[in-house]
Amino acid sequence: MAAVGWCAVTANAETLREPAPPRLVLIFVYDAGETLGLLPVASLLAQRNIRVRWAPLTPWAAQILAHEFADMIPLPEGLNQMPHVKDRGTSGDATYWMRLAEDQKPDLVITGMVSGIQEELAKELKTAGVRTVGFYDSFDTTERDSIMWRIASRVDRVWVPTKKIKDDLNELGIKSVKALGQPTLEIWSRIASSTKPDTVFARLGIPANKAIIVFAGQYGDGYNEILAAFVKAAQAELDQREDLYLVLSPHPKTNGDAECAVLAQYNEPRMMVMPVGISTADLAIVSRAVVTWRSTVGTQAAFLGKPVIYFNFAVADYRNDLIEHGLAQAATPETFGAALRKAFATRSVDRRRLLALGYVVNSDQKIADEVRRLIK
Question: For residue 158, how many C-alpha atoms fall within 13 Å in the half-sphere facing its CB?
Answer: 28
Question: Which residues lie closer than 8 Å to 18 by C-beta, 6 or more apart?
Answer: none
Alpha helices in 56-212 (DSSP H): 59-67, 83-86, 95-104, 116-127, 147-152, 163-171, 184-194, 197-204
Confidence check: pLDDT of 2 > 80: no
User: Alpha-carbon dihedral of residues 299, 301, 303, 308, nearest 10 degrees?
Assistant: -70
Give the pLDDT mean for 221-244.
Answer: 97
Task: Please give the C-alpha separations between residue 191 and each of 36, 186, 197, 286, in angstroms, as whole numbers.
Answer: 14, 9, 11, 12
Cα–Cα distance between 274 and 251 in angstroms, integer? 11
Q: Which residue has the higher pLDDT, 17 or 373?
A: 373
Contacts 24+ apart (CB under 8 A), 58-64: 58/30, 58/31, 58/84, 58/85, 58/253, 59/85, 60/31, 60/32, 60/252, 60/253, 61/29, 61/30, 61/31, 61/32, 61/35, 64/32, 64/35, 64/36, 64/39, 64/252
96 alpha-carbon distance from chain centroid: 26
Confidence check: pLDDT of 62 > 70: yes
Q: What is the pLDDT of residues 291-319, one digit of tens each?
A: 999 999 999 999 999 999 999 999 999 99
Confidence check: pLDDT of 7 > 80: no
Confidence check: pLDDT of 251 > 60: yes
Residue 17: its pLDDT value, please?
Answer: 61
Confidence check: pLDDT of 8 > 80: no
* Ordered DSSP codes for 200-258: HHHHHT--TTSEEEEEE---STTHHHHHHHHHHHHHHHHHH-TTEEEEEE--TTS-SHH
Residue 332: its pLDDT value, please?
Answer: 98
Nearest to 275 by CA among 192, 204, 214: 204
Give the pLDDT mean for 144-169.
Answer: 96
Residue 349: its pLDDT value, please?
Answer: 79
Residue 337: its pLDDT value, please?
Answer: 97
Lowest mean pLDDT among 55-59, 131-135, 198-202, 357-361: 357-361
Residue 16: its pLDDT value, please?
Answer: 54
Strand-by-strand arrangement of the 211-216 sheet: 271-273, 244-249, 211-216, 289-292, 308-311, 329-331
Angle subtended by helix axes 223-240 and 336-345, to nearest 10: 60
Nearest to 344 by CA among 299, 292, 307, 302: 307
Q: What is the pLDDT of residues 122-155, one digit of tens each?
A: 999 999 999 999 999 999 989 999 999 999 999 9
Confidence check: pLDDT of 10 > 50: no
Nearest to 296 by CA among 251, 351, 326: 251
pTM: 0.84
Q: What is the pLDDT of residues 93-113, one digit of tens each?
A: 999 999 999 999 999 999 999
Confidence check: pLDDT of 36 > 80: yes
Residue 188: its pLDDT value, please?
Answer: 87
SS3 41: helix
Lowest mean pLDDT among 57-61, 120-124, 129-133, 359-363: 359-363
Give the pLDDT mean for 334-357.
Answer: 90
Query: How would residue 20 be classed by pLDDT, with cut points 50, 70 and 90?
Result: low
Residue 18: its pLDDT value, please?
Answer: 63
Q: Write the DSSP symbol of residue 288.
A: S
Residue 250: its pLDDT value, please?
Answer: 95
